[in-house]
Amino acid sequence: MQEKYPQKPGLDFILKQAFYYWNRTLLYQLMFSIIYFALFFSSIFFFADYFGIFEFNDELQIALQKGFNEYLQKSQELGKTENAVNFVYSVLGTIIFLYPLNLGFYQIFKMLDLKEPTELSDLFVGYRGLNFFRYMSYFIFWFFFYSLIAQTVILPVIWVIITLFVAPLMFFQNKTIFEGIALNWKALKMYFIEIFVCVIVAFLFKYIGFALFLVGGLLTFPFWNAMIYSLYKTIFEEIN
């Protein structure tokens, strides 16, 4: 496959296209959020109970009665315990496990373009065969680097932007992680304004549902994938 960069599209076209994909797949958006949060919170409660995290509350309440400094000190002490560390790793493992669920939207959006019927099982394409290990490995790499720079303000944003198209490039064009980053960088140099604005819009819309409509966040939370696909489809033209 080759990559071709067409004449620059307008921001309005990219945004309208993203909202089109999102609007056409509202049922899948809802199912994604239900599955994601059900597994995520079930995991948190299970591991919190398994590692005795709930028992920390009594110690923290006692420390808080003595003063805020004592509370912070006790929090730091408990956070370094073996059970607390294992709990954090378990939650991170859950987040890593859930990441391939996002790949299903790329499959669904592509099938919409091809006017082919979609079904709920398409949402789990990222878990089929070796796909699960491939995309899980990518997310481990992505998250490890992200955690190293998370304490800065600008670098995490830069990392998100320069890896924005890696997953769809891996999915549609079978690129490796580093090939994807290289192509992502090339696209970023040509479409920086469009990509940056779309990332901001996607981030705001992704969480605005929770802020304004609470349950409506279940529909807006996966919107990020529609924006990425709209940008990918507009910037990268696949030639068989």
The model's pLDDT over 158-179, given as tens digits with 9 standing for 90+, comes to 999 999 999 999 999 999 999 9
Q: Please, are residues 64 and 57 in contact by the beta-carbon 8 Å criterion?
A: no
Read off the pLDDT of each residue in 205-225 and give the average, rounded to a whole number. Answer: 81
Q: Report how far Cα 5 is from the mean position of its chain's Cα atoms.
A: 26
Confidence (pTM): 0.87
Nearest C-alpha neighbor of 177 from the set 219, 141, 229: 141
Residue 95 makes CB contacts below 8 A (sequence gap 6+) with 40, 143
Q: What is the C-alpha separation between 89 and 86, in angstroms, rounded? A: 5
Residue 12's identity, in one-letter code, is D
Give residue 214's pLDDT. 65
> pLDDT-derived band of residue 140, with 50, 70 and 90 as boundaries?
very high
Residue of 190, 221, 156, 176 lying closest to 5 (CA atoms): 190
Tokens of 80: 């370094």
What pLDDT is recorded for position 9? 64
Evaluate if residue 152 carries a pLDDT over 80: yes
Q: Which residues contact 30 (CB under 8 A, 6 or more apart)?
A: 218, 219
* Measured distance CA(78)–CA(96) in Å, rounded: 25
pLDDT digits (tens, 9 = 90+) for 48-93: 999 988 888 777 777 777 777 777 887 788 778 898 899 999 999 9
Specify the pLDDT at position 239.
Answer: 36
> What pLDDT sits at residue 97?
96
In the chain, the N- to C-terminal Cα span, in Å, equals: 6
**Looking at residue 91, what DSSP letter applies?**
H
Q: Measured between alpha carbons, how far is 81 from 79 in angstroms, rounded to an integer?
A: 6
User: % helix / strand / coil in the chain, to the nearest 5?
Assistant: 80, 0, 20
Q: Which of 63, 86, 84, 58 is nearest to 73 (CA)?
A: 63
Provide the percentage of residues in the chain whose pLDDT is more than 90: 66
Check whether 28 has a pLDDT greater than 70. yes
Which of 3-12, 147-156, 161-170 reaches the highest mean pLDDT? 161-170
Look at 7-11, 139-143, 230-234 and tell me which has the smallest mean pLDDT.
7-11
Q: What is the mean pLDDT of residues 90-99?
A: 95
Among positive and negative, which fits the CA dihedral 153, 210, 192, 141?
positive
pLDDT band at 6 (very low <50, low <70, confident <90, very high): very low
